[in-house]
Structure 1
């Protein structure tokens, strides 16, 4: 092999041989280390996924590179629950491998120290190291993280959320939580906000937040999702449920009217156009029945004015019929 190399005089990044010759790191992972290592301080708080997108590492390629960097000790993450029950993630990126204990110690020191009091990086090799001389890199996991989101300033995000209705806010939370169900549906804050209105239509049509999340993450393509934004947008449009049917109108409450039945004057509240209250209507129906079937009418001379029921009268008739042959035989 013929070899010829000219060292650049400006705009270059020093890459350690341990990184370049690492056998367990793919080319995407190595390029990502060198890219982040050369970032200015002003961009150190951006998410690692945002940096990867800028150099064309997206989707499954990014997830594979990130997994390799975590196994090799170049990336460390901690999930924690903040105020309001929101889950967030702290992410530390280094151009030198760190153990979990070293990363935790560095995280604690950086959380307490001022920018001018930062301690040197663990394993620093004389040049600027991403291990500790740079701020931690936060990866956006939910809204209202301790550091401002990379896509929208904190003040603008607060105004935007305040100007939306509750369904849009809940829909945006569901879209941001898709990354926890599957890394293939990792949406940024701006992407989730752009789809929140479409997702809010599902909630307005009676779909619960858990049902919406299930509809978006279930049945993913076997060959993976190329674009999380395009895939989620396609499902929100194609699987939109039917709108809720309007509730039946409530019948108006009718005012009380005077009952036209016999007895003392009284009023009742009708359900339709009836002119008799329920007791008077029942009494009128019994009178009409007894007028048609006088046999079953109560005896006015009886001590009891209770009407004779048909079952009792039927038993009496049977008893009379059974008694007649016995009296005839006796005579």
Structure 2
């Protein structure tokens, strides 16, 4: 085997050889680790682990397995903490070297600039969010839920903005988008992606489409490969947007005068659409009386005279 190694001048990521030769790390886990370490500090603040794992081959199951492998190696840590407003935040830490739990907690505290951690102590001495030991988790996976009050960034507007109404249609649309992964594991959305698409989905609900109908429109007939779930769903939400519902007329039924089948009356019709579109029936003409050979010979002879 020959090697040709040229060190890049820029745009590279340093990673330990021990991670490269670690057989306990799957290809998906190694790729997730490299992607996280390749982010800049500003980009890492705006990106969740779930958004990085969305492009991995294998869907949600592979992504969850990769996260568990990194967490077991001490390369991925997750914590919850409570801000001064009493809101619970979830935060993840990806490290290039294995860290113990207390070392990760110290880094979490230093980055937040507080003395306590979620589960040990909160801001101003209030108890933190803690970590759940039993029962169902509050969030699907680490870093998948957008913290309350968080801004989504500059390019988050929708061509059809829908303000959150009293019926919570916008919130319901966002939750519906996050649950699409249960129908197809390729449709994994991050919390920010779902928040950007929620106004479009809420517009569907405002136009009379049921939740089941919206799920079917977004998941039916998917292509064999889904490279970007957010872009695919955005295209479907825009291209298949139904028209506004019009005032529905009362349903009036009648019996067709021809075929005696029931049909819906729209403008006072007496026959159904099938009978009205059918060709009119011509009345039967009586067949001419057939003459015998004697009458035909007599008529022929009379014609010659």
Q: Which TM-score applies when normalising by structure 2?
A: 0.48
Structure with more contact order per residue of length (Cα contacts < 8 Å, sep ≥ 6): 2
The higher radius of gyration belongs to 1
Q: Which TM-score applies when normalising by structure 1?
A: 0.45
- Kindly indicate which of the two structures has a greater share of residues assigned to helix: 1
